Structure 1
């Protein structure tokens, strides 16, 4: 479980750094929606493992 928490933090931080290069709100919303989908996917798959 610690690995998955680390993965969440890592993905979030890398997305935040990546977002700093974009001021376009549409790109920002796409990245946020992608991150939320990824989190939802992980929370769906992890309990099954």
Structure 2
């Protein structure tokens, strides 16, 4: 019996991948406004992302 090939998933506008380099543009921290709150997204010295309110 032949295994079934997985069906391709539908891509939507919500599936877009953003590059961190495009978001940060050389900065270490950006601010994101969401639901009337401001969040900080920053790159650590260990090249990790931290999101804080």
TM-score w.r.t. length of structure 2: 0.26
Determine which structure has the larger helix proportion and give its number. Answer: 1
Determine which structure has the larger strand proportion and give its number. Answer: 2
TM-score w.r.t. length of structure 1: 0.27
Structure number with greater CO (CA < 8 Å, separation at least 6) is 1
**Larger C-alpha radius of gyration, 1 or 2?**
2
